[in-house]
Amino acid sequence: MPFEEQLRRYRDEEEFALGMGGSEKLARRRAEGNLNARERLDILLDNGDFLELGRHARAMRPEVRHKSPADGKISAIGMVNGRPVAALSNDFTVLGASSSVINGKKMRHLRDIADRRGMPVVFLGESTGARMPDRMGAPGRAILGQDPLEFRRMRRTPWVSALLGSCYGSSTWFGCMSDFVVMRKGATMAVASSKVTSLAINQPIDPEDLGGWRLHTGTTGLVDYATDTDEEAIGLIKDFLSYMPDHNGVAPPLAEVPEGSGEDAGKILEHFPELRSRTYDVRKIIEVIVDRRSLFELKPRFGRSVVTALSRVGGRSVGIVASNPRSKGGAIDVDACRKATSFLVMCDSYNIPLVFMVDQPGFLIGVEGEKLGAPGKIMNWMNALSQCSVTKISITTRKNYGQAYLNMGGGRTSDASACWPTADLGFMDPKVGVNVLFGVREEDDPDRFRELVEEISQDSSAWSLAALYEAHSVIDPRETRRYLIDTLEALDGSDGARVGKHRLSNWPTSF
Amino acid sequence: MAKIEICSEITGSVWKILVKEGDEVEEDDALMILESMKMEIALESTADGVVRKILVNEGDQIASGDVACVIEE
């Protein structure tokens, strides 16, 4: 056979690359219930098909070339639900998928292609961090920073990350720069591993405390979701991408409207208590407004008094920012501010119109919030909102008090605003106002308290706001879906969202 | 079995306790109703598990961050 030797070499090289870190390591992973890097790509990409770049790359250092297939990071271009994506799957069985000169070149090349073609990038993370001893000493420093744009994030295309094991170094950094992050329970994400950290601070540390799912979904907000399995995590990535455009030069694709959407719109009042002192879960209200099965909440365990969710109305992608009185009565705390700002940045970057659903008693005031820089976070949010160029619609359902009225799309910060007849606008609840202004509490002097409440109460109704043409419409709550469909069509046309100016696309990747 | 401390998210008072020690609860179940900002706000479990300890009584004042009860996963 002609070229027999060369073709044999080709087969050997293929076998070496596809063999990853070797059968023993792969079997151990399987026994532990962990998928390997190529199995993860098979699940992510349609039919498991993809173009692989750098399959035959190996480590730069000669003494590890024999054990560095693909140099530990598998670079792929394939399709997710018929749309193109670039994917980088870390192969932990190869030198812990540690970051090296060669696999750094692979990552940069993949990102360049995604940018040029205009397609999302998916990072399947599990890595140990910088490769040792490559990065030791001055020569190690000299190989760093050779790509000055390595950590520049311009949001030309959506990025998503799954944290599927121990994530240090690149899996952490690119996770933090992603628009959506999902984590498998048991995975960790941190600046340095628990082993390194324990040595540095000279005390034992639990990896879960250092960077587990509870910390990142509930406290840092760096992770959107935690799942039990890799398959679930990858499934969420596909769901997220379905709301996104391929790149920022186009609107998100219009989806088919699922049968039965809007059928329950009349039941909206079942989820909305008449008593103003009662709380409720706004997600139940959103669910009956939007297209069926299209409520995709981001960061549900973080900053919970504001819900941020991708959704669809009449087949269009929308970003919903909704007060959730179920948490803190809807009072907006620092975490909720951080979450809302990052959501505005994302929606504006990818041409996703914003819908505010407002029932909030104001920002959560107190020493704790001030220590966390509440005023700065509130102004970050306002600055972002002022620069958003996607269509913004605000609906006040109940309370809408204080400065937060503006943050939630009040005044001219929205393109269209509506109120339910139940809306209550003002600077603060008159009962709280009496406490503040006169120092009188209801339980101390009920008659005097009632008198003072009446004295300081102004007309705070939806009708009063509509008469001043600050609310453009007052709508029956049961007509909210219809209102949104009609308003989006009126403002953006019938063929989808407008392409915005993306003034926020280079904003920070966490707040 | 991990012990999870359920902390109040707000400063207010404990209006009604809905569970007792030994009860099994699921994540997001309401454990007690707090009163703050003229609203009744549920304090919810952040994990599935068993209520091991309730550290407050009805009528108590509670501050943001105070542990109200302990759940064992």
* Min Cα separation A218/chain B (Å): 10
Q: What is the pLDDT of residue A432?
A: 79
Q: What is the pLDDT of residue A435?
A: 84
* Preferred mutation among B27, B29, B41, B73 to probe A, highest tally of A CBs within 10 A: B41
* Min Cα separation A443/chain B (Å): 12
Distances (CA, A) of A51 to A81, A84, A352, A411, B7: 16, 11, 30, 50, 50
Q: What is the pLDDT of residue A194?
A: 86
Nearest to A429 among B9, B10, B38 (CB): B38
State how far the Cα of A186 lies from the Cα of A228, in Å rounded to an integer. 8
Pinpoint the alpha helices (H) of A137-296: 137-142, 170-176, 194-201, 207-211, 213-214, 230-242, 282-289
Say if CB A191 and CB A207 are below 8 A apart: no
B interface with A, Cβ–Cβ below 8 Å? 9-11, 36-42, 46, 64-65
Contact (CB<8Å) A278/B39: yes
**For helices A282-289 and A480-492, what crossing angle results, to 10°?**
60
Q: Is A222 in a helix, a strand, or coil?
A: coil
Lowest mean pLDDT among A1-5, A192-196, A244-248: A192-196
- pLDDT-derived band at A289 (thresholds 50, 70, 90) equals very high
- ∠ CA(A323), CA(A325), CA(A330), 5° rounding? 60
Give chain A's mean pLDDT: 95
Mean pLDDT of A368-379: 94
- Count interface pairs A-B at CB distance under 8 A: 41
- ∠ CA(A323), CA(A503), CA(A498), 5° rounding? 75
**pLDDT over threshold 90, residue A118:** yes
Contacts of A508 (CB under 8 A, 6+ apart): none
Q: What is the pLDDT of residue A76?
A: 98
* Min Cα separation A282/chain B (Å): 14
What size, in residues, is chain A? 511
Residue that has been written with the tokens 């669809």 in this structure: A312
Instruction: Give the chain A residue nearest B64 (alpha carbons).
Output: A368
* Min Cα separation B11/chain A (Å): 9
State how far the Cα of A73 lies from the Cα of A69, in Å rounded to an integer. 9
State how far the Cα of A212 lies from the Cα of A190, in Å rounded to an integer. 9
- pLDDT-derived band at A439 (thresholds 50, 70, 90) equals confident
Residues above pLDDT 70, as percent of chain A: 100
pTM: 0.92
**pLDDT over threshold 80, residue A496:** no
* Min Cα separation A405/chain B (Å): 17
**pLDDT over threshold 80, residue A457:** no
Measuring CA to CA, which residue among A124, A189, A200, A133 is closest to residue A162? A124
Mean pLDDT of A122-138: 92
State how far the Cα of A388 lies from the Cα of A395, in Å rounded to an integer. 18
Lowest mean pLDDT among A386-400, A442-456, B4-18: A442-456
**pLDDT over threshold 90, residue A66:** yes
Say if CB A144 and CB A104 are below 8 A apart: no
Pinpoint the alpha helices (H) of A212-333: 213-214, 230-242, 282-289
pLDDT tens digits, A153-189: 999 999 999 999 999 999 999 999 999 999 999 999 9
Nearest to A279 among B9, B40, B65 (CB): B40
Q: What is the pLDDT of residue B20?
A: 95
pLDDT tens digits, B5-50: 999 988 999 999 999 999 999 998 999 999 988 788 999 998 899 9
State how far the Cα of A489 lies from the Cα of A443, in Å rounded to an integer. 51
Measuring CA to CA, which residue among A328, A325, A409 is closest to residue A368? A328
Residues above pLDDT 90, as percent of chain A: 84
- pLDDT-derived band at A495 (thresholds 50, 70, 90) equals confident
Contact (CB<8Å) B40/A277: yes
Residues of chain A in contact with residue B46, where contact means CB-CB under 8 angstroms, are 218, 301
Q: What is the pLDDT of residue A509?
A: 94
**Residue A396's beta-bridge partner residues?**
A358, A419
- pLDDT-derived band at A311 (thresholds 50, 70, 90) equals very high
A interface with B, Cβ–Cβ below 8 Å? 218, 276-279, 301, 325-329, 331, 361, 364, 366, 368, 429, 431-432
Nearest to B40 among A278, A301, A432 (CB): A278
Contact (CB<8Å) B39/A361: yes
pLDDT tens digits, A332-370: 999 999 999 999 999 999 999 999 999 999 999 888 899
Lowest mean pLDDT among A16-30, A130-144, A263-277, A303-317: A130-144
Q: What is the pLDDT of residue A443?
A: 85
Residues of chain B in contact with residue A431, where contact means CB-CB under 8 angstroms, are 38
Contacts of A373 (CB under 8 A, 6+ apart): A334
Mean pLDDT of A294-314: 97
**pLDDT over threshold 90, residue A305:** yes
Say if CB A73 and CB A57 are below 8 A apart: no
Q: What is the pLDDT of residue A24?
A: 96
**pLDDT over threshold 80, residue B1:** no
Nearest to A329 among B36, B46, B65 (CB): B36
- pLDDT-derived band at A228 (thresholds 50, 70, 90) equals very high
Q: What is the pLDDT of residue A161?
A: 98
Q: What is the pLDDT of residue A436?
A: 81
**Residue B34's beta-bridge partner residues?**
B14, B41
Contact (CB<8Å) B38/A432: yes
